[in-house]
């Protein structure tokens, strides 16, 4: 068992650094940003899933009083762009490929005028044959979404490690089944929005509620055909991201070209329906075939997984997500013989993309159920089969992932105790059952070039307070508080005496942003290194003032002491002023950076993708009503291995929030399509979990320490949404003997399965 260190600031339940501004309404969200002369923009979207644009007449809209700009693809460079593949345009060029795709846009003095102008734009369409099912899209003769993509396939993976044929031959039992996940929307309380301003110098300033500012700058510059230095991105307050606010959509680009044409700042904010149609890219829908081979003692001997993933009309981050679904889970359990096949396929539906878990929830929905099936066939307690196969510190996965810290077995022990697993299994009541699943996630992922790092600068003001300059934006998860705690701990000052800047690409060094549960681990290390640099400068100055060796100094509570002589000290403010106000003086400023000890995977996707891996276990007790199919979750427990917990309040919120989204994915959420058209794009018909849907939750953090993390910390944010759907399905099987293999798990599906079972 890893033993976490004790700290004076890290791990304390401090006040959130942005809390006051948020509860008082001082925080500025996109809707709150108003610039002089600002116009409001609206976007005309395709009503067809696949149609050629024969003609666009904008003359009536242009002449409407109050309209200041109307744009189409003719106002752009018609340059494709994208996160991994350049396959989408700012506005439709030649044809539209899904319902909701951006075709034209207007900027006007108010929204009423803008919407009236949209109605005056005349578009002549030629509807084309469309394809809505990924498996059908792969067949010969299927309509092509992109003419240069044969069989509509965007990505193919076909990888084998070890000898899969021999491994299955050596297995005592083989489990084989098919599972289908579902698209899921982020449903952030705030929709995507941007405010763009264009200067005569050619520079764009864009306020965005993006979680990846510098990546957004790169993509926007590429699409607009300008140098990155001509794009300034300033992060507004963000009302939830969950992966959906990663600049995979066109909102900011449309605002930018409207601002350039109008010569005035333009604000574009998605309505809730637009968010469903074309805003946040929803979770990738997958059909997953799983085949597992087991030895009689419960050891997993072989795994073969085949995935058909729905890319939608454009690629966004689905290429990387498909790879995660195909391979990440092999870092959770110990086995060496693996074959993975995956196909990412274009369809005429909204592009899919990053959502909390990044492919893991879809894969674990399938793989963790297959493991549960194997446990039941072997007559082994699912808790024990997980323990037999669980990864440990030092494990290297078949794909080259190196695990430096792992408390998965400790999490299993904690889950067993919190659920009172053995007693509940022994005293099983009718129609009640227990389910279990394990999970692994990364603390950063090296896939945007050969870099997975961060940087930060810290300066000490003359009053002794510290300011962190960082481009890693806060998206609601509390990372800025964690970063302030890390700096305070390293500097030996109160957390109240540390502030952090807004994220701004012009004023901070390069940062990748919030994805892959990376910020506490990676940006935390960068902040710690910057603070260490600053502390060395403070100690050097203090050593002169205290007439002591710098190596003999310690700091605590904003004071610098000589070890063993705590009565003799100078304050951090004293040292900062003394360093500055003297001949050849200088401010105390230090920078730090960190790049994780990971590698860019090779062509076969082999290589250690992350610097650290976080683990978790979840278990549920459910009760099933045999007459209605209704599933009631009676109790839920979660154990998380995220290393040292830096900011406990934020960490608890991450667990609870991830779990709530997992409950939605498992039991509630689902957008319905009719020939590619979403039919329930609103919160009246697309239901997300409320408090009444959430069961009693017990949660605990493992006693864990990641040696490469800041004060032993690693990632957490996505971990606790990953296995939830599988946990509940496994519990339903234990309760009534039926297994649901398509999401969401509705009462109708449960009742149908019970009826078919007889």
Task: Based on the fold, state whether residues 504 and 632 are members of the same structural domain.
Answer: no
Last residue of a domain, one of 236, 269, 302: 269
pLDDT one-digit tens code per residue, 130-149: 999 999 999 999 999 999 99
CA–CA separation, 289 and 370 (whole Å) = 10
Yes or no: say if 43 and 274 are a contact pair by the CB < 8 Å rule. Answer: yes
HSE-up (13 A, CA, CB side) for residue 287: 9
Task: Based on the fold, state whether residues 636 and 708 are members of the same structural domain.
Answer: yes
Give the residue-averaged pLDDT of 418-430: 97
Tell me how crowded residue 162 is: count the other CB atoms within 10 A of its CB.
Answer: 14
Q: Is 46 part of any domain?
A: yes
Tell me how crowded residue 758 is: count the other CB atoms within 10 A of its CB.
Answer: 4
Evaluated on CA atoms 33, 34, 36, 37, the torsion sign reads positive
* Containing structural domain, residue 208: 39-128+192-269
Yes or no: say if 516 and 717 are a contact pair by the CB < 8 Å rule. Answer: no
Q: Is 137 part of any domain?
A: no
Q: Is 275 part of any domain?
A: no
Task: Based on the fold, state whether residues 656 and 753 are members of the same structural domain.
Answer: yes
Q: What is the pLDDT of residue 564?
A: 85
Task: Based on the fold, state whether residues 118 and 258 are members of the same structural domain.
Answer: yes
Of 309, 638, 262, 594, the C-alpha closest to 444 is 594
Q: What is the CATH number of the domain that holds 123?
A: 3.90.1170.50
Yes or no: say if 255 and 267 are a contact pair by the CB < 8 Å rule. Answer: yes
Helix H or strand E encompassing 725: helix 724-736
Last residue of a domain, one of 548, 566, 595: 595
pLDDT one-digit tens code per residue, 702-750: 999 999 999 999 999 999 999 999 999 999 999 999 999 999 999 999 9
Task: Based on the fold, state whether residues 432 and 492 are members of the same structural domain.
Answer: no
Using the predicted structure, report yes or no on whether residue 2 has a pLDDT greater than 50.
Answer: no
Task: Based on the fold, state whether residues 591 and 726 are members of the same structural domain.
Answer: no
Using the predicted structure, report yes or no on whether residue 589 has a pLDDT greater than 80.
Answer: yes
Cβ-proximal residues to 650 (8 Å cutoff; 6+ apart), any chain: 16, 477, 478, 479, 481, 482
Q: Could you tell me the CA-to-CA distances from 16 to 20, 484, 561 in Å, in that order?
A: 8, 10, 29
Task: Based on the fold, state whether residues 507 and 416 are members of the same structural domain.
Answer: no
Q: Is 581 part of any domain?
A: yes
The structure tokens listed for 34 are 């108003």
pLDDT one-digit tens code per residue, 559-576: 999 998 878 899 999 999
> Would you give the DSSP letter of residue 243?
T
Q: Is 553 part of any domain?
A: yes
pLDDT one-digit tens code per residue, 107-130: 999 999 999 999 999 999 999 999
Task: Based on the fold, state whether residues 486 and 439 are members of the same structural domain.
Answer: no
Please give the share of the chain, as a percent, with pLDDT higher than 70: 99
Task: Based on the fold, state whether residues 706 and 659 are members of the same structural domain.
Answer: yes
Q: What is the pLDDT of residue 5?
A: 62
Q: Is 736 part of any domain?
A: yes
Last residue of a domain, one of 567, 595, 623: 595
Task: Based on the fold, state whether residues 737 and 616 are members of the same structural domain.
Answer: yes
Q: What is the pLDDT of residue 1?
A: 33
Give the residue-averaged pLDDT of 45-58: 98
Q: Is 117 part of any domain?
A: yes
Q: What is the pLDDT of residue 565?
A: 83
Kindly indicate the confidence band of residue 449, based on its pLDDT and cuts at 50, 70 and 90.
confident
Q: What is the pLDDT of residue 758?
A: 82
Yes or no: say if 646 and 520 are a contact pair by the CB < 8 Å rule. Answer: yes
pLDDT one-digit tens code per residue, 401-411: 999 999 999 99
Give the residue-averaged pLDDT of 434-456: 94
Task: Based on the fold, state whether residues 611 and 584 are members of the same structural domain.
Answer: no
Give me the helix-helix angle, 360-378 and 724-736, nearest 10°: 30
Q: What is the pLDDT of residue 96?
A: 98
Kindly indicate the confidence band of residue 353, based on its pLDDT and cuts at 50, 70 and 90.
very high
Q: What is the pLDDT of residue 711?
A: 97
Give the residue-averaged pLDDT of 267-292: 96
pTM (two decimals):
0.96
Q: What is the CATH number of the domain that holds 566?
A: 3.30.365.10
Please give the share of the chain, as a percent, with pLDDT higher than 90: 97
Helix H or strand E encompassing 344: strand 338-346
CA–CA separation, 111 and 239 (whole Å) = 22
Give the residue-averaged pLDDT of 233-262: 97
**How many separate domains does the chain show?**
3
Q: Is 312 part of any domain?
A: no
H helix intervals, 19-72: 19-24, 59-62
Using the predicted structure, report yes or no on whether residue 4 has a pLDDT greater than 70.
Answer: no
CA–CA separation, 637 and 21 (whole Å) = 33
Task: Based on the fold, state whether residues 124 and 210 are members of the same structural domain.
Answer: yes
CA–CA separation, 375 and 387 (whole Å) = 12
């Amino acid at each position: 068992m890893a033993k976490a260190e004790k700290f004076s600031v890290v791990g304390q339940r401090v006040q959130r650094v942005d809390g006051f501004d948020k509860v008082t309404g001082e925080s500025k969200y996109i809707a709150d940003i108003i610039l002089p002369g600002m116009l409001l923009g609206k976007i005309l979207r395709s009503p067809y899933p696949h149609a050629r644009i024969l003609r666009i007449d904008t003359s009536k809209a242009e002449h409407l009083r109050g309209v200041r700009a109307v744009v189409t693809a003719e106002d752009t460079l018609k340059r494709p762009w994208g996160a991994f593949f350049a396959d989408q345009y700012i506005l439709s060029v030649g044809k539209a490929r899904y319902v909701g795709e951006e075709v034209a846009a207007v900027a006007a003095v108010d929204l009423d005028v803008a919407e009236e102008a949209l109605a005056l734009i005349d578009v002549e369409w030629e509807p084309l044959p469309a394809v809505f099912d990924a498996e059908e899209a792969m067949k010969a003769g299927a309509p092509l979404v992109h003419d240069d993509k044969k069989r509509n396939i965007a990505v193919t993976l076909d990888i084998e490690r070890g000898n899969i044929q021999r491994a299955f031959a050596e297995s005592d039992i083989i489990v084989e089944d098919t599972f289908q996940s579902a698209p899921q929307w982020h449903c952030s309380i705030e929709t995507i929005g941007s405010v763009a301003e264009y200067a005569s110098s050619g520079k764009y300033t864009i306020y965005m509620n993006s979680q990846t500012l510098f990546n957004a700058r790169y993509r926007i510059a590429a699409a607009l055909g300008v140098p990155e230095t001509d794009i300034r991105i300033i992060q507004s307050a963000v009302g939830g991201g969950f992966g959906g606010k990663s600049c995979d959509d066109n909102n900011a680009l449309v605002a930018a070209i409207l601002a350039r044409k109008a010569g005035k700042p333009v604000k574009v904010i998605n309505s809730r329906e637009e968010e469903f149609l074309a805003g946040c890219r929803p979770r990738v829908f997958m059909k997953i075939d799983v085949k597992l081979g087991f030895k009689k003692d419960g050891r997993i001997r072989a795994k073969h997984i085949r995935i058909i993933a729905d890319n939608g009309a454009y690629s966004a981050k689905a290429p990387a997500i498909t790879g995660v679904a195909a391979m990440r889970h092999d870092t959770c359990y110990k086995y060496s013989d693996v074959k993975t096949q995956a196909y990412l396929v274009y369809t005429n539906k909204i592009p899919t993309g990053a959502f909390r878990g990044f492919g893991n929830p879809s894969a674990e929905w399938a793989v963790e159920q297959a493991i549960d099936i194997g446990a039941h066939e072997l007559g082994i307690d699912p808790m024990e089969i997980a323990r037999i196969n669980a990864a440990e510190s030092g494990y290297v996965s078949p794909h080259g992932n190196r695990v430096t810290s792992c408390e998965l077995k400790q999490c299993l022990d904690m889950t067993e105790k919190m659920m009172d697993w053995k007693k509940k299994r022994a005293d099983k009541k009718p129609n009640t059952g227990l389910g279990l699943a394990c999970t692994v996630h990364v603390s950063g992922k090296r896939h945007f070039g050969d870099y997975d790092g961060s940087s930060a600068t810290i300066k000490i003001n003359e009053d002794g307070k510290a300011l962190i300059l960082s481009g890693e934006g806060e998206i609601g998860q509390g990372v800025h508080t964690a970063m302030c705690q890390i700096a305070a701990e390293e500097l030996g000052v109160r957390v109240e005496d540390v502030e952090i800047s807004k994220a701004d690409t012009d004023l901070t060094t390069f940062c990748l942003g919030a994805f892959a549960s990376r910020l506490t681990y990676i940006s935390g290390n960068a902040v710690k290194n910057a603070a260490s640099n600053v502390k060395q400068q403070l100690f050097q100055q203090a050593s002169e003032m205290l007439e002591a060796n710098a190596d003999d100094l310690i700091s605590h509570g904003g004071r610098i002491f000589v070890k063993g002589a705590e009565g003799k000290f100078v304050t951090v403010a004293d040292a900062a002023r003394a360093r500055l106000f003297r001949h050849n003086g200088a401010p105390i400023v230090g920078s730090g950076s960190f790049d994780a000890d990971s590698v860019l995977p090779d062509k076969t996707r082999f290589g250690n993708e992350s610097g650290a891996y976080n683990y978790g276990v979840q278990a549920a007790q459910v009760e099933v009503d045999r007459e209605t199919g209704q599933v009631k979750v009676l109790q839920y427990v979660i154990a998380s291995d995220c290393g040292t917990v830096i900011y406990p309040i934020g960490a608890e919120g991450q667990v609870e929030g991830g779990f709530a989204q997992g409950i939605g994915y498992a039991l509630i959420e689902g957008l319905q399509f009719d020939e590619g058209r979403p039919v329930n794009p609103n919160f009246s018909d697309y239901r997300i979990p409320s408090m009444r849907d959430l069961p009693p939750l017990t949660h605990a953090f493992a006693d864990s320490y990641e040696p490469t993390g800041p004060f032993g910390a690693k990632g957490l944010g996505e971990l606790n949404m990953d296995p939830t759907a599988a946990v509940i399905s496994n519990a339903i099987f234990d309760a009534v003997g039926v297994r649901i293999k398509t999401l969401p798990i509705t009462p109708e599906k449960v009742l149908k399965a019970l009826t078919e079972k007889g």
